[in-house]
Amino acid sequence: MYKLYGVKKWGSLGPQCVLEEVGAPYEMVWLSLEDRRGPYRKINPLGYVPSLQLADGRIVFESSAIVTHITDAHPSDLAPRSGTPDHAIYLTWLTWLNAEIYSTMNAAEFLEDEGNTVGDAASRASLAEAVRAKVDALFNIVERHLGQSGGFMLGRSVSAVDHYLMMVTLWTRPNRRALYERCPNIGRVVAAVNARQAVAKVLALNDLA
């Protein structure tokens, strides 16, 4: 039995979708702000979500590592078999979405955080604008890729990379619908992912239905 630590609509959403998709038994632990500032630091060094506790008690963190572990441990149509060239491409895109898009969005959030007192407000705002422009450029790369790939991140059918893509689009500014209009290929992937029964359940659990 896994234990997934998360916050609604945050980085636990993608891993939760994948757990539901593969039918792996898990307990969802929703964390409060106090939890994340306190005891949870022993589980995740930065107090970030998500973290996944394995059956032996050890903790996996980093959302892309969690998704990869779940799909490797519970083989399904959502990911190629570990060790194959197709799996290398799977890892490439999953890692890229995490390292490039998720992290760049986090940098923008950091600059826009009301509690941030580094430098002056005007410099923070113009830096945040530049970082948001980079996020847009990264989504443009995904949009072009989807135009050539067959419709989904790994080709003609849905994979866990598409679930992960759906998750990171949730945090776009000014809102995710503006992204789907600007990038219709991404909008189509998100619609297809969201129509899946397992995902619809997770969206409802995250107050997104």
**Residues making contact with ligand GSH (CB under 6 A):** 10-11, 36, 48-50, 62-63, 98, 102, 106
- As a whole number of angstroms, the distance between CA 203 and CA 194 comes to 8
Shortest approach of ligand GSH to residue 67 CB, angstroms?
9
Q: Which is nearer to ligand GSH, 127 or 170 (CB)?
A: 170
**Checking phi first, is residue 54 left (phi over 0); if not, alpha (psi -120 to 50) or beta?**
beta
Shortest approach of ligand GSH to residue 42 CB, angstroms?
15
As given in the structure block, the two tokens for residue 1 are 């039995």
Shortest approach of ligand GSH to residue 36 CB, angstroms?
6
Q: Which is nearer to ligand GSH, 41 or 177 (CB)?
A: 41
- As a whole number of angstroms, the distance between CA 129 and CA 135 comes to 10
Q: Which is nearer to ligand GSH, 68 or 185 (CB)?
A: 68
Which phi and psi (to 5°) does residue 38 adopt? Answer: -110, -115
- As a whole number of angstroms, the distance between CA 81 and CA 44 comes to 28
Given the structure tokens 């789907």, which residue do they identify?
A: 180
78 within 8 A of 160, measured Cβ to Cβ: yes
- As a whole number of angstroms, the distance between CA 69 and CA 51 comes to 12
Residues 6+ apart with CB under 8 A from 72: 79, 82
Q: Which is nearer to ligand GSH, 169 or 185 (CB)?
A: 169
Shortest approach of ligand GSH to residue 106 CB, angstroms?
5
Q: Which is nearer to ligand GSH, 45 or 155 (CB)?
A: 45
159 within 8 A of 79, measured Cβ to Cβ: yes
Q: Which is nearer to ligand GSH, 36 or 196 (CB)?
A: 36
Shortest approach of ligand GSH to residue 61 CB, angstroms?
6
Shortest approach of ligand GSH to residue 179 CB, angstroms?
17
